Chain A
Amino acid sequence: MTAPILEGRNIVRDYHVRGGFLGKARSIHAVKGVSFKVERGKTLAIVGESGCGKSTLARIITLIDAATSGDLLIEGNKVDIATEGLTPEMRRKVQIIFQNPYGSLNPRQKIGEVLGEPLRINTDKSAEERRDLAMRMLNKVGLGHEHYNRYPHMFSGGQRQRIAIARALMLNPSLLVLDEPVSALDLSVQAQVLNLLADLQDEFQLTYVFISHDLSVVRYIADDVMVMYFGEAVEYGSRDRVFADPQHAYTKTLFAATPRATVESIRARLARRRAA
């Protein structure tokens, strides 16, 4: 039994909307008391429809925003950025990869600078060392040395996502939050990036929190699955249990909404249509 890398206990996040000229001030409960636990080297997938609080939770786990209440533990240490701030060591432990590979890279930074920046801020490595590390990381994510001096706009979406992954890994984090990392990519590239993520997880013993609404992707990569619905975790368990025996009505609807392309399912659909 290994200690959990990430643990959330009863995490709540409210947003306060200020009243306008006539409107009243009100608060929106984006996340309503979510608890979870992820062990080293495992993947927790968070599934849910748009606006259910997935990305809010991702920002809390990545230590960008503070939770309104609840405890967040990273490697067994309690982290509270609202009151205590954030130490550089903590900052290095959690990194994030965003959905849109076109927005997540600074258009004025060459790839070399993109990869070197985290080291430059957090370590006192020399320019030479930074360049070597960046080169090695480029190779790891399947890019070449010739890409070091290029700008982000010269790359395709899949390549940019590889660069974003490389940047996230530069500081050797133990936890990586992936906020729909493949939903902006086309299918063949999705598979490549997912395989890359799986390989990197084995190599560095990474822990993933994988946010997605694509169930086939979740089935491929996740160990545990949490289903969120209007800010609440309505289903939480191992992948096999959740997929084999969904308990909550929303989970069942979600699985039923997955398009199926087997011959039987197409026949069944045609039969239904004829009957109707």
Chain B
Amino acid sequence: MTDQSAGEGISADVDIGGRRKALIEFWHYFSVNKGAVLGLAVFVLLVLVAIFAPLIAPHAPNEQYRDALLTPPSWHADGRPEFLLGTDAVGRDMLSRLIFGARYSLFIGFVVVVFALFSGIILGVLAGYFRGWVDTLIMRVMDVILAFPSLLLALVLVAILGPGLFNAMLAIAVVLQPHFARLTRAAVMAEKNREYVISAKVAGAGHLRLMLVTILPNCLAPLIVQATLSFSNAILEAAALGFLGMGAQPPTPEWGTMLAAAREFILRAPWVVTYPGLAILITVLAINLMGDGLRDALDPKLKRS
């Protein structure tokens, strides 16, 4: 009787509720970390702002109000109520540009991290699993990439590919990718000789299954942290490329480009520099907090029950 009911409970788990139950379990462990929840909330808010930018923003991002150049934020004595965070040097509303900029920054961070993570994991797993000449070949190429100052290499790559947002993202992904490859390789090498891997081999698992199903999930914790840190790096480097005229082109309301364009007014009109900087800071902080909580929730060794 008890056996039967236990069996039914498990089949229900496997068939319909398995995915949802896993999600509830994940949330239980994730919500223990208050900072992570805060980070997630801010991040979700940012994503919503990015998606609904045309509905939220009070003005079009590129519309110039020639009568309101460098207007201070509205709570200042000579601020104007229709420009909540003031305007920049050519009279564009800061708030609207920041709201639209969230789209670019999140998009850049996301695409760069996905590219870098994907190629880095593939190369790192191959190098760590097979060792020998495969390892030597892959890791020496990675060493060469790491030997260049990252911004310089990205600049060279963009100069070859041609300026533009997409090429800048590709270049940054190439520059960030060796970090992922190195981390993955180290983790794979540590896990590869563990007894559970040998057990899986004795059970008949092939190379692909050993690499991707047995070993890789046990290497994810450092990669998640690296991915969140790279997210912020990607945003900053894209901004730097934009500043040098190689990334997002000027009218685009990208935070980094805004920051770069406003630097000559830093003393006269601090708000044109402060708010894009704050936006980047808050985004990066929120994602880092979230990544930390994610790692704690995904590591079964930290689970209690």
Q: Spell out A's residues near B (CB within 8 Å).
A: 62-64, 88, 91-92, 94-96, 98, 100, 103-108, 112, 117-118, 121-122, 127-128, 131, 135, 144-146, 148-149, 151, 153-154, 164, 167, 171
A91 and B14: CB pair below 8 A? no
Which residue of chain B lies nearest to A106 when distances are taken between CB atoms in the complex? B196
- Would you give the 0/1 interface string for B160-171, flagging 1 where the beta carbon is closer than 8 Å to chain A? 000000000000
Interface residues of B in 178-221 (CB under 8 A from A): 194-196, 198-206, 209, 214, 217-218
Q: For residue B303, which residues in chain A have a CB less than 8 angstroms away from its CB?
A: 151, 153
Which residue in B10, B201, B206, B214 is a CB contact (below 8 Å) of A106? B214
Which residue of chain A lies nearest to B193 when distances are taken between CB atoms in the complex? A103
> Size band of the B side of the interface?
20 to 34
Which residue in B14, B198, B203, B217 is a CB contact (below 8 Å) of A122? B203
What's the dominant secondary structure at chain B's contact region?
A: helix
Bound-complex Cα distance A43 to B116 (A): 53
Which residue in A95, A108, A131, A167 is a CB contact (below 8 Å) of B11? A131
Q: For residue B198, which residues in chain A have a CB less than 8 angstroms away from its CB?
A: 64, 96, 98
Which residue of chain B lies nearest to A90 when distances are taken between CB atoms in the complex? B204
Which residue in B3, B196, B202 is a CB contact (below 8 Å) of A103? B196
B195 and A98: CB pair below 8 A? yes
Bound-complex Cα distance A135 to B10 (A): 11
Interface residues of B in 207-242 (CB under 8 A from A): 209, 214, 217-218
Q: Spell out B's residues near A (CB within 8 Å).
A: 3, 6-7, 10-11, 13-14, 194-196, 198-206, 209, 214, 217-218, 300-301, 303, 305
Assuming the A-B contacts A107-B300, A149-B10, A153-B301, are A100 and B195 also in contact, with contact meaning beta carbons closer than 8 angstroms in the complex? yes
Bound-complex Cα distance A149 to B10 (A): 8
Q: For residue A96, which residues in chain B have a CB less than 8 angstroms away from its CB?
A: 198-199, 202
A151 and B195: CB pair below 8 A? no
Assuming the A-B contacts A131-B10, A145-B7, A148-B10, are A104 and B195 also in contact, with contact meaning beta carbons closer than 8 angstroms in the complex? yes
Closest-CB distance, A248 to chain B (whole angstroms): 32
Closest-CB distance, B152 to chain A (whole angstroms): 35
Name the 4 nearest CB pairs between A and B, nearest first: A118-B203, A104-B195, A145-B6, A103-B195
Bound-complex Cα distance A94 to B204 (A): 11
Which residue in A95, A131, A146, A167 is a CB contact (below 8 Å) of B14? A131
Closest-CB distance, B297 to chain A (whole angstroms): 13
Q: For residue A151, which residues in chain B have a CB less than 8 angstroms away from its CB?
A: 300, 303
Q: Give me 30 A-to-B residue pairs in the complex whose CB atoms sit less than 8 angstroms apart, sorted by A's number.
A: A62-B202, A63-B202, A64-B201, A64-B202, A88-B204, A91-B203, A94-B202, A95-B203, A96-B198, A98-B198, A100-B195, A103-B194, A106-B196, A106-B214, A106-B218, A107-B301, A108-B217, A108-B218, A108-B300, A117-B203, A121-B203, A121-B204, A122-B204, A131-B11, A144-B6, A145-B7, A151-B303, A153-B303, A154-B305, A167-B199
Q: For residue B14, which residues in chain A have a CB less than 8 angstroms away from its CB?
A: 127, 131
Bound-complex Cα distance A120 to B209 (A): 12
